[in-house]
Amino acid sequence: MSVEATDTAHSSVADAAPATTVSRQDLTVIYLLLVSAFVVILNETVMSVALPHLMVDLNTTASVAQWLTTAFLLTMAVVIPVTGFLIQRVNTRPIFILAMSLFSAGTLIAAAAPGIEVLIVARIVQAVGTAIMMPLLMTTVMTLVPPAARGKMMGNISIVMSVAPALGPTISGLILNYLSWRWMFIMVLPIAIAALLLGATMLRNVTTTRYAPLDVISVILSAFAFGGLVYGLSSFGEGGSDGPVISPWIPIAVGLVAMAVFVFRQLRLQKQNRALLDLRTFLSRDFTVSVTMFVVLMMAMFGTIILLPIYMQNVRGLDTLQTGPLLLPGGLLMGLLGPVVGRLFDRVGPRPLVVPGAAIVSVVMWAMTLLGPTTPVPFILAGHIVFSLGLALLFTPLFTTSLGAVKPDLYSHASAILGSTQQVAGAAGVALFVAVMSLQMATREASGATPLDALAGGIRVAFMIGAAISLLAVVAGFFVRKPAAPPGGMHGH
């Protein structure tokens, strides 16, 4: 088995090189995946600043426009569980080619989309490629990097995962100020194709494939489970006379029932090692606590990412060119702090980083409940920078702790579970924040408030809900521990 072989290799060179080094060949593989991940992550947030612009340009409402983000996240949540199966069955290079081909095709469709419906379809195709890329990157890193160096490597990964989302709004703001929204995709397309060609020629296979059966029923159940929950939550945002055709509680109920059946089926199938998602990962307390924190943080982060541009443009009257740069310093700070936080994690473990990080995020969320039509722009900028500092202290330790807490043969399942819960939580956060904002707006306008005051009030209440949820992350932070790494390191928990 490849894991034992890796162990032997590490122990045989223990005197010459401590188990904190990664070979040049392995680093080449990781950095190729990182470049590609940068492109797909950049694409995730390029829409946030553009939503108010697209609502006008394509003559659509906020509840429809949010599907450009929600459909993307929902697709990822449905596809990611299957990547656990793919990574076991197919080698690194073919999976990479599949992921980047799909992403490039989706980008091309988006650039040529005649309206909002085709644009949403294009985002779904992009999301399928993105969904495969992220677990592939995480599983590869966990396979190639020894435990003592994982914090540092995850810190390097967090540069990409922080700077790319921060650049997204800035780039889209610049494009929307001078060019058509189509250029957001036209400019990404050649980069995506270049990454595809580079990976196809230079990437080598690093994983050992094994037979893993695909349970089709589990795939269908997971689609209904995640799809029902997110669709139901999103429907709450469709208030007013054009409200949802069916009650939002119906898809939510379908989602909950499907999720219960899905979980029951996985528990049965994992006894024969046939589960789509092996839930034995949750037997690790560290993994379970980390995933719980991710759920809370993703809801808070994606809700904030969607509401801040709406607030800055529709309440404070800033244009897209001003909005993007306001969100850039925070993302750059997260990127700069990534390697520092990674090295600190290797030295002190997660709790001294995670607890202050969660507290900072929560404090900023509560501060955002004070936003109004006259809030000074420097206050918003400072708030976002401090918010990003809190997230920087959280993401690297939580990624490293959650994946390091499971056995190597469960890495692909852990990556897939982590990815799925992140995306569902992100979609739920977007849906929840927009729903609360829309309902509060309608209530306040009915009471005689001006549209501007109604929108500002709706945004404040949405942030209040997010702030209350963020308190759960503060409590959970006290229960995060550094996973024990046995001698030789690669045998898991």
pLDDT tens-digit map of 383-392: 989 998 998 8
pLDDT given at position 317:
82
Tell me the pLDDT band of 16, cut-offs 50, 70 and 90: very low
For 314-334, the pLDDT digits (tens) are 888 887 677 767 777 887 888
Please state, in angstroms and rounded to a whole number, the distance separating the CA atoms of residues 372 and 347.
Answer: 42
Least confident of 1-10, 61-70, 255-264: 1-10
Tell me the pLDDT band of 362, cut-offs 50, 70 and 90: very high
Percentage with pLDDT > 70 across the chain:
86
Bigger pLDDT: 119 or 415? Answer: 119
Mean pLDDT of 359-369: 92
Structure tokens at 215: 């349970």
Please state, in angstroms and rounded to a whole number, the distance separating the CA atoms of residues 187 and 167.
Answer: 13
Residue by residue, what is the 3-state secondary structure of the chain? CHHHHHHHHHHHCCCCCCCCCCCHHHHHHHHHHHHHHHHHHHHHHCCCCHHHHHHHHCCCCHHHHCHHHHHHHHHHHHHHHHHHHHHHHCCHHHHHHHHHHHHHHHHHHHHHCCCHHHHHHHHHHHHHHHHHHHHHHHHHHHHHCCHHHHHHHHHHHHHHHHHHHHHHHHHHHHHHHHCCCCHHHHCHHHHHHHHHHHHHHHCCCCCCCCCCCCCHHHHHHHHHHHHHHHHHHHHCCCCCCCCCCCCCHHHHHHHHHHHHHHHHHHHHHHHHCCCCCCHHHHHCHHHHHHHHHHHHHHHHHHHHHHHHHHHHHHHCCCCHHHHHHHHHHHHHHHHHHHHHHHHHHHHHCCHHHHHHHHHHHHHHHHHHHHCCCCCCHHHHHHHHHHHHHHHHHHHHHHHHHHHHCCCHHHHHHHHHHHHHHHHHHHHHHHHHHHHHHHHHHHHHHHCCCCHHHHHHHHHHHHHHHHHHHHHHHHHHHCCCCCCCCCCCCCCCC
Whole-structure pTM value? 0.75
Instruction: Say yes or no to pLDDT of 475 above 60.
Output: yes
Domain layout of the chain by residue ranges = 20-477
Tell me the pLDDT band of 363, cut-offs 50, 70 and 90: very high
Mean pLDDT of 178-201: 86
Residue 269's nearest CA partner among 261, 260, 278 is 278
CA dihedral 354, 390, 300, 30 (to 10 degrees): -80
Please state, in angstroms and rounded to a whole number, the distance separating the CA atoms of residues 263 and 254.
Answer: 14
Q: Which CATH architecture has domain 20-477?
A: Up-down Bundle (1.20)
Contacts of 282 (CB under 8 A, 6+ apart): 288, 291
Q: Average pLDDT, whole number, for the chain? A: 79
Tell me the pLDDT band of 484, cut-offs 50, 70 and 90: low
pLDDT given at position 19:
52
Please state, in angstroms and rounded to a whole number, the distance separating the CA atoms of residues 111 and 251.
Answer: 32
Mean pLDDT of 276-302: 85
Provide the phi-psi class of 347: left if phi over 0, else alpha when psi is between -120 and 50, else beta: alpha
How many CA atoms are closer than 13 Å to the CA of 334, on its beta-carbon side? 29
Q: 50 and 306 in contact (C-beta within 8 Å)?
A: no
190: how many CB neighbours lie within 10 A of its CB? Answer: 11
Instruction: Say yes or no to pLDDT of 8 above 50.
Output: no
Mean pLDDT of 188-199: 88
Tell me the pLDDT band of 364, cut-offs 50, 70 and 90: very high
pLDDT given at position 179:
82
pLDDT given at position 492:
37
Mean pLDDT of 468-476: 88
For 390-403, the pLDDT digits (tens) are 988 988 888 888 88
